[in-house]
Amino acid sequence: MNKNDFAPLPPMGWNSYDYYDTTVDEAHVRANADYMAAHLKEYGWEYVVVDIQWYARGAGSMRSQYQYIPYSHLEMDEYSRLLPDPERFPSSVNGAGFRPLSDYIHSLGLKFGIHIMRGIPRQAAHAHTPIKYEQSGTGALLAWKYEQSITGALSARKYDGSSSTAKTIDGTAVTAADIADPSSICGWNPDMYGVRDCAEGQAYYDSLMELYASWGVDYIKCDDICNTNIYPHNPYSGRHEIEMLARAIQRCGRPIVLSLSPGPALIEQANHYKTHANLWRITDDLWDRWSDILQMFARCELWQDHVERGCYPDCDMLPLGRIGGGFGEGQERSTNLTHDEQRTLMTLWCIFGSPLMLGAEMTKLDAWTLSLLTNRDILSMRTPECRPRQLFRTADAAAWTACNEKTGDRYVAIFNLSDKERTVSAADPELYQAAGAAVPSAQSYTELWTGQEYVSPSAVLPPHGCCAFRAAR
């Protein structure tokens, strides 16, 4: 079980990626936070997460050629730690980092999160910039860098943090180059090298969490770590960096929720994820295609035994409302999912107990999308006290159930996975017995999307449609 209690419920919030891709700025984040506070906070939505490349100058300016510009300039402090791009996040200047933005979001009663990539900036390794390192046994804080000597040779020097001159310390240096592993890279983003499994590498991660804690960060989404899929024979090559992150969070003095991406997560590593993280992606990037939603039924079945307090298999973001950056076009559009498909997505995510991260531009939410996000009955299923259980799944239909161990509420969801109208039923008690689930014995069932009463959890469903029932008590 996870060693912290930073996420007693599956996190709910907004992430900038589906709409803004790499281009979100401070004004956008504040506007979305304002909307969440005014319209969604009372329903449990609370995290505002700035996604990838908040540190990159000119991010998104070459979108027709690159999603992530190779060798672009990354903002960085003297200890090889990335900083917000001051052009997009003007309040971050003069060393403030994300603290002013975080303070604003906290003032709204919300929580603040950021995306990071596994590892250390490549530009730091190439430039031999210092890392913040506390020498074991002495407590002395050592910051190291390489400085070119008069002869042009590189010599190891101790950096005092205030001057460009430094003293050589026994020819030994601890820099980004010493902890970076050039054989450990991300296949789709050029910003980072992996960090070696060593004390100095742990010190680097400790310094990151120290910085993020000082900014008031509540949530970290770490990418290229849940499944390092560039290495098919070693897809869990980031294992030691997950452990380093978890240790650093425990040491930083602030409760920071840890989310791991991308998926698909490795089921054989389930206990490792649960020990060191709060949520982990069980799919690769999920977009507004029925095929993406359909494959989640098998993934949820695979992970259903691993949903528990503080530990949540993550079905990925909700591609609802107005989104933008998907598939490389970078153009705004309304979700391609039908209304029935959107209800199916929300129903499966909630009865399974997945985190909910909205990808839409919230200031452009329409009434339909807002109704999906504010249905208290549907959202009530997403508590770890509701143990999810698949009752059956065929090529054409599926059914899930859950029972709240505290309240006694029993839920049943039925899904039409086919392209034609179909009757789907989960009324047979043997289905529940075979799945090891409690058999509801109610005489009536309330459908949670419409409020309609049914005598059993059975209905004629439209293509890709669903019903979510609560049994009468």
Could you tell me if residue 427 is inside a domain?
A: yes
Last residue of a domain, one of 361, 383, 405: 383
pLDDT of res. 124: 97
Is there a single domain that holds both residue 250 and residue 375?
A: yes
Q: What is the mean pLDDT of residues 145-149?
A: 30
Provide the sign of the torsion angle of the four alpha carbons 331, 336, 339, 342, taken in this order. Answer: negative
Structural domain harbouring 466: 390-471
Summarize pLDDT for 450-467 with one digit per residue, the tens.
Answer: 999 999 999 999 999 999
pLDDT of res. 151: 28
Examine the pLDDT at 146 and tell me if it is beyond 50: no
Counting residues of the chain whose pLDDT is more than 70, the rounded percentage is: 90
User: pLDDT class for 473, splitting at 50, 70, 90?
Assistant: confident
pLDDT of res. 325: 59
Is there a single domain that holds both residue 376 and residue 394?
A: no
What does the block give as tokens for 191? 């910003």
User: pLDDT class for 169, splitting at 50, 70, 90?
Assistant: very low
Q: What is the mean pLDDT of residues 256-269?
A: 98
Is there a single domain that holds both residue 154 and residue 244?
A: no
Could you tell me if residue 174 is inside a domain?
A: no
Summarize pLDDT for 314-345 with one digit per residue, the tens.
Answer: 999 999 999 985 444 568 899 999 999 999 99
For residue 419, give the CATH number of its domain.
2.60.40.1180
Is there a single domain that holds both residue 360 and residue 394?
A: no
pLDDT of res. 133: 80
Could you tell me if residue 235 is inside a domain?
A: yes
**Residues, the chain, total?**
473
Could you tell me if residue 127 is inside a domain?
A: no
User: pLDDT class for 165, splitting at 50, 70, 90?
Assistant: very low
Examine the pLDDT at 44 and tell me if it is beyond 90: yes
Summarize pLDDT for 77-130 with one digit per residue, the tens.
Answer: 999 999 999 999 999 999 999 999 999 999 999 999 999 999 999 999 999 999
pLDDT of res. 438: 86
Could you tell me if residue 183 is inside a domain?
A: no
**Mean pLDDT of all residues belonging to the chain:** 90
pLDDT of res. 441: 84
Is there a single domain that holds both residue 204 and residue 309?
A: yes
Is there a single domain that holds both residue 351 and residue 415?
A: no
User: pLDDT class for 158, splitting at 50, 70, 90?
Assistant: very low
Is there a single domain that holds both residue 197 and residue 81?
A: yes
Whole-number Å distance between alpha carbons of 52 and 186 = 14
Examine the pLDDT at 31 and tell me if it is beyond 70: yes
Whole-number Å distance between alpha carbons of 203 and 42 = 39
Is there a single domain that holds both residue 374 and residue 410?
A: no
Query: Which residues are registered as beta bridge partners of 221?
Result: 115, 259
Examine the pLDDT at 157 and tell me if it is beyond 50: no
pLDDT of res. 86: 98
Could you tell me if residue 233 is inside a domain?
A: yes
pLDDT of res. 326: 46
Last residue of a domain, one of 355, 383, 411: 383
Examine the pLDDT at 409 and tell me if it is beyond 60: yes
Name residues whose C-beta falls within 8 Å of residue 94's C-beta, 6 or more positions apart in sequence: none
Could you tell me if residue 53 is inside a domain?
A: yes
Q: How many structural domains does the chain have? A: 3
Q: What is the mean pLDDT of residues 235-250?
A: 97
Q: What is the mean pLDDT of residues 296-318?
A: 97
Summarize pLDDT for 426-440 with one digit per residue, the tens.
Answer: 999 999 999 999 888
Is there a single domain that holds both residue 162 and residue 229?
A: no
pLDDT of res. 439: 87
Is there a single domain that holds both residue 94 and residue 202?
A: yes
Any idea which of 58-72, 77-91, 412-426 has the lowest mean pLDDT? 58-72
For residue 275, give the CATH number of its domain.
3.20.20.70
Is there a single domain that holds both residue 310 and residue 254?
A: yes
Contact 405, 74 (CB under 8 A): no
What does the block give as tokens for 230? 């560039």
Counting residues of the chain whose pLDDT is more than 90, the rounded percentage is: 84
User: pLDDT class for 135, splitting at 50, 70, 90?
Assistant: low
Last residue of a domain, one of 342, 357, 383: 383
Is there a single domain that holds both residue 436 and residue 352?
A: no
Could you tell me if residue 125 is inside a domain?
A: no
Whole-number Å distance between alpha carbons of 100 and 81 = 18
**Which has more confidence, 256 or 156?**
256
